[in-house]
Amino acid sequence: MTLSTQAAVAAPKAEVRGELPDDLRERIENAVGETDDAPDNRFQARRRARAAAEDATAVLRSEGYYASTVTPDITEADPALPYIDVQPGPRFLIADPAVEWTEPPPEAGAAAAAREAIELEPGEPGRAADVVAAEGRIVAVLTRQGYADASAGARRVVVDHADNTLTPTYRIASGPLVRLDGVTLRTQGPTNPQWVAGLAPWREGEVYDPEDVAELERRLTETGVYDSVTVALSPPSETNAEGLRPIVVGLRDQPARVLEAGVGWSTSEGVGVDAAWTWRNRFGRADTLRFDLRLAEIDSRIGATLSLPHWRRPGRTLKLSAAVVDEETDAYNRRGLLASADLTQRFGPTSFYSYGAALEAGQYEDITFDSLGNPVPRERTLYIATLRGSATLDRSNDPLDPTQGWRASLDLQPTLVGGDTSLAFLRAAGQVSAYLPLDEQGDTVVAGRIRAGSIAGADGVGDVPSDRRFFAGGGGSIRGYEFQSVGPRLPDGTPQGGLSLIETSLEVRRRIGERWGAVAFIDGGTVGESSFAGFDGVQWAVGAGVRYHLPFGPIRADIAIPLDKREGDAAFQLYISIGQAF
C-alpha cells in the first residue's frame, strides 16, 4: 500500500485580472484574500467570484475610482476557477469641499479654523477614508475652540461623472460655545471638594478646552491614591443660570490603609527586609502618610514620611520626613536622627525639580591611621545641616523599562557640619543615561549611562562625614564589586570613600518572547581622593543577566565578574531586583 500526501497551498479566492496600478492591484488582492480549498463545483466558484467583486468594488470606491467596472466570472477549465476582471476607469478628484452650518453657526474664528481642518485640496484623489477623516478633524477643531457639543450630520458627497470629480459637503452642528463653571465632585471617599476645585486649570467663565480637562485628570491620577479618576464635561441640562457648565469629577479611592512587605538580596549587600504601613487620603487632599521599617545587614532604619501633593499650587509636592538610621558598612558605622522637608515641582510627566533642607544629628564611627600607619578608631558626634536642590529631566518612554529616549539628573547639596568637626562643603553629582532601540519594536536596546560627582571645600577625605563621601561598587553602581569596595582603601583594606566619582555602564538588552529578556553589560568607575577623580584607577566588570517582564516592569537577575580584582574581591557578584539597572 502506498500513502501519498499533498500539502495545501494557499491561493487567491479569485484571480484579479485587468490593467491596474501595482499598489491598487495589491490592495484588491489583499481584500479578496486567499484560501486553501479549491471550489467544489461551478456554483461555488461563481459565488466566490461575486464575493470577490464586491470586495474589489469597495476598495476601488475607497480609492476614488467611482466609474470602475468589476465583472465576476469563472474559467472554462475543470475544475472551474473564479476570477474578476477589473477596469478601474478614471480616478475621481476632490473639488471644492464645503461646510454647511446647522444654525446657529460658530463664531467667525472657529468657523475659519474648522474649514482649514478639512485639509482636502482640490485635485487630490477622492479617497473615501480621507473624506471621512476630514469630518472628524472639523469636529475635533470645534471642540478645541470651545464647542464641546459639536457633531456631524449626514454628509453630502456629489460624484460628478461628467468631469470625474467628488465634492463633499459637511453638515456640522457646532452647538453653543461652552463656558466653564467650577468642579462637581462625586466620590464616596474623604477627598475635599475645595481642594479638587483648586486643581482646575481654568477660571470660572473661561471657554471650554479639552486639554484643561485632561490636565485636571492627570493631576488627580498622579497622586497615586485613587483606583479610578474620571473627569468629564457635564451634560447641557446642567448649565446654570449664568450659562456656565461644571466639570464632573468622579473619584474612587484605593484602600485607605495598606500593609506591605518585601525582601531583597545580593551577594554584596546581603539580605534586607522591608515593611511599610501606608495611610492614604488621611486629610482629604490625596495625601500619603507612610511608616517604613527596614532591617538589613548594611542599612536599618525606621521612619515616617508625609506627602502632600499639589501643595499650594498644582504639580508641587511637599514631603516631610523623619527617620532613625543605623548603618553598619565596611567603611563606617552611623547612628543618627534625620529630619527633612522638600518641595518637588513637576514640569512634565516624569520630569521635576526639587529643593529643601535636612537636619541630622548622629554618631559616626570610622578608622584613621596615625603617622606610623597604625589604625586608630575614631568616634565623632556631628550635627549636619544641608540645603539640597535637584532636577530630573526624563525624555524616556518608560520609568522601569525604557527602550528609547534619555534622562538627565543633577543634585546639589551645600552642607554645614558642626560638633566634633567644623566644615562647610558643596557636594554635586549628575547622571545622564540614554536608550537606543536597534529595531522598530524596541526588542533590542543599547543603553548607556555616565555619572560624575565632586565635593568642593574639604581639605581631605577624612574631614567629610562618612555617609557624604562618594563610594562605588554594588548593584546600583558598579556591578561585580562589593558594596563600597571600588576606590581608595585604608591600609587595612577598609573602603575610605572619596571626594570625586566617575561611573559608566553600557548594556545591550534583548527581549525574548513576551515575558523574558537577556542583558549583557560592562560597568566601570573610580573614586578619587581629590575633587576631580580623572580616569586613573578605573575598575571594570562585565556580566550578563535575565529579565522576567511583568505588567509593571521587569524583575532582573544579574551576575557580574570583576576584571580588576584586588585582594579581598570576590570572583563574582549576584543581584536580584525590580526594574532595569538604570
Residue 306: closest CA among 324, 326, 332, 283: 283
What is residue 46's predicted lDDT score, i.e. its pLDDT? 93
- Beta carbons of 388 and 342 less than 8 angstroms apart: yes
Which pLDDT tens digit goes with each residue over 231-276?
Answer: 999 999 999 999 999 999 999 999 999 998 888 776 656 678 889 9
Cell numbers found for residue 91: 480616478
Query: Residue 555 contacts by C-beta under 8 Å, 6 or more apart in sequence?
Result: 547, 548, 576, 577, 578
Q: Which of 100-114, 380-394, 523-537 has the lowest mean pLDDT?
A: 523-537
Query: Could you identify the residue written with the cell 520630569?
Result: 351
Q: Is the pLDDT of residue 4 over 50?
A: no
Distance CA 384, CA 54 (A): 81
Quick: pLDDT tens for 321-356.
Answer: 999 999 988 878 999 999 999 999 988 777 899 999
Q: Please identify which residue in the block is written with the cell numbers 591611621.
A: 369
Instruction: Specify the pTM.
Output: 0.70
Quick one: pLDDT band at residue 368, thresholds 50, 70, 90? confident
- When pLDDT is averaged across residues 466-489 and rounded to a whole number, the result is 91
pLDDT at 266: 62
Mean pLDDT for all residues in the chain: 91
Confidence (pLDDT) at 115: 94
Q: Any idea which residue has 456554483 for its cell?
A: 43
pLDDT given for residue 7 in this prediction: 42
Phi, psi of 107 (to 5 degrees): -60, 160
Three-state secondary-structure class, residue 190 = coil
Grid coordinates in use for 429? 553629582
Map grid coordinates 554584596 to a residue.
Answer: 268
Angle, helices 42-62 vs 22-32, to 10°: value is 130
pLDDT of residue 374: 78
pLDDT tens by residue, 45-80: 999 999 999 999 999 999 999 999 999 999 988 889
Sign of CA dihedral 418, 421, 424, 427: negative
**CB distance 457 to 425 below 8 Å:** yes
Position 401, amino acid: D
In DSSP notation, 104-134 reads SPPPHHHHHHHHHTT---TTSB--HHHHHHH
**392 alpha-carbon distance from chain centroid:** 14
- Displacement of CA 443 from its chain's centroid (Å): 16
Query: What is the percent of the chain with per-residue pLDDT over 90, rounded to a whole number?
Result: 75
Backbone φ, ψ for residue 131 (5° rounding): -65, -45
pLDDT for position 6: 40
Beta-bridged to residue 519, according to DSSP, are 509, 545
Say which range, 365-369, 421-425, 533-537, has the weakest mean pLDDT.
533-537
For the chain, give the number of residues: 582
pLDDT score of 8 more than 70: no
Residue 91: is its pLDDT beyond 90? Answer: yes
Nearest to 223 by CA among 283, 287, 168, 165: 287
Q: Cα 337 to chain center, whole Å?
A: 36
Q: How far apart (Å, rounded) are the C-alpha atoms in residues 9 and 515?
A: 34
Ranges of H-type helices in 312-466: none
Residue 9 confidence (pLDDT): 60
Cell 517604613 found at = 292
